[in-house]
Each structure stands twice: as C-alpha cells, then as structure tokens.
Amino acid sequence: MNNEHQVLFDEITHLLRGGNAHADLKKALDGLPPNLRGVKVDKLPYTIWQLVEHIRIAQWDMLEFSKDGSHESPNWPDDYWPKELAPKDDAAWDNSLEQIDSDLEELIEMVKSEDIYKKIPHGDGQTILREALQAADHNAYHIAEIIMIRRLLAAW
C-alpha cells in the first residue's frame, strides 16, 4: 500500500468508526436504558431500535452489494425499516449491534485490501470508495438522529 492510499485508508477508517465531526454508534447508545429502545417521540417517525435496525440493514446491503454480484437488495423503503418499535428481546438488540460491528469491520477490510477506485463489476459505476463513504455518511446521519431522540427523552 503506498503512502497516499494509507492516508486515505486511515481517514476512511476513522470516518467509518465515528470521525472527528460525529459520535460513533457505541457512544450514541452508551448508557441507553433498555426501556427507551422502543419509545417513539411525538412527531418523530422512528424509535432508536428502528434506527439501529435500519443502520444494520442498509450497511449490510452496501457491504453485500460491494462483494457479491448475485446479491439482491431488500425492497426500498419497506424492507429497510423494521415495523416493530422495539426489539423483541435483549438478544435481538445485541445481535443487531454485533452485525453492525462485524459488517463495518468487513467493509473496512475491503477498503484496505481492494482497489477502492475500480468500478464494482456488477454495479453501474459504484466503487468500494463510494460505498464506504456512503456507509459512513448514512450511519452518521442516523446516529445523530439517535442522539436527538435521546436528548428529547432526557437520556443523553
């Protein structure tokens, strides 16, 4: 890996893990009481659980698209948003967070080991770089929503 690529890789990794301008998911969820995972704040469309699941589903889709030409994305928007307000149990919550972490690490490994500028063969112009930046942008947006909900619930 040349120095320019290493600098870019380090910056993308930092951004994916919760760059300078935003909190990461772990920080956004740290200390969240389990009973608040499914609370819907008046006039806001989603609960914290729905946002966590949406992050999981969308990030998984971006990762799978990047590596598998036979991957079929879920139907937008219905299959990207859970209908349940809260996880069915702690295991569902934990499993979602574990998948987010493992998929994120796999995406970071792709950034490190692949030609990030090469077009994905089964795409229509996407690159690993674009998918990684999209995942970082998408996650940061929804993590901010989680923090806002926590503030409105007086739990931040």
CATH number, domain of 71, equals 1.20.120.450
Other beta carbons within 10 Å of 77: 8
- Asked whether residue 155 carries a pLDDT value surpassing 80, the answer given is yes
Number of domains in the chain: 1
Instruction: Tell me which residue has tokens 């030609």.
Output: 115
What's the whole-number average pLDDT of the chain? 95
Q: CB of 20 within 8 A of CB of 14? A: yes
pTM attached to this predicted model:
0.96
Per-residue model confidence as pLDDT tens digits over 93-140 = 999 999 999 999 999 999 999 999 999 999 999 999 999 999 999 999
Residue 14 belongs to domain spanning: 3-152
Per-residue model confidence as pLDDT tens digits over 33-83 = 999 999 999 999 999 999 999 999 999 999 999 999 999 999 999 999 999
**pLDDT attached to residue 140:** 95
